[in-house]
Amino acid sequence: MSLKKILFILIILIYPSKLIGDTSVENENHQINLFIGNFDFSDDKQKSTLLGFQHQNEYLNRDTFLGNLSPITGGFITQNSAAYVYTGVEWNVDMGSFYFTPSFAPGLYHEGDGKDLGHVLEFKSEVQLSYKTSDTTNFAVSYNHVSNASLGDKNPGANSYMFNFLKKF
């Protein structure tokens, strides 16, 4: 899928004014995160565009010794038909208009025509910095590393960066 097609799809998804501005939804406890970026940008032979989706349910958050944790579930597909689906946890650190969000999520990876990461079970660690544009909308940048933690015969890993649109509903 070309970058132009992916950008066109994202524009169609976020164009309606209800998504861009404030909404009067009570109890916004679900959050979607639509993102586009560059998968494995540090490997010139294997880098490709990625498109993904993530869901967070704040009803299920827990205060722990690590801080407030909430579950995430999501996935992405790359331009080379590689796919990754995951579920894990994230920590949301409120810094006024900004949020710092580290996360960890084990998941299943299918290489398609993309990079062989050495195992079907992979682990994604990510950091995200988002800017709150309204009570229900954030824009963010994020970086992640996907690795099999040496479970396979090889462990090349993949580094990615993304641009994110987050919406509570």
- pLDDT by residue (tens digit) across 12-52? 555 544 444 444 444 567 899 999 999 999 988 889 999 99
Spatial distance between the Cα atoms of 106 and 49, rounded to a whole number of angstroms: 21
Confidence category of residue 123, pLDDT binned at 50, 70, 90: very high
**Which secondary structure element, helix H or strand E, spans residue 94, and what is its range?**
strand 93-95
35-52: burial string, b at 16+ Cβ within 10 Å, e else = bbbbbbbeeeebbbbbbb
pLDDT for residue 144: 97
- Strands 48-57, 83-91: pairing kind: unpaired
Confidence category of residue 154, pLDDT binned at 50, 70, 90: very high
Q: Catalogue all structural domains in the chain, each as residue range(s) with its CATH number.
A: 37-168 (2.40.160.20)
Chain segment 41-99, per-residue pLDDT in tens = 998 888 999 999 999 987 788 877 767 789 999 999 999 999 999 999 999 888 889 99
Could you tell me which residues come within 8 angstroms of residue 111 by beta carbon, excluding any fewer than 6 positions away? 82, 117
Average pLDDT for residues 138-143, to the nearest whole number?
97
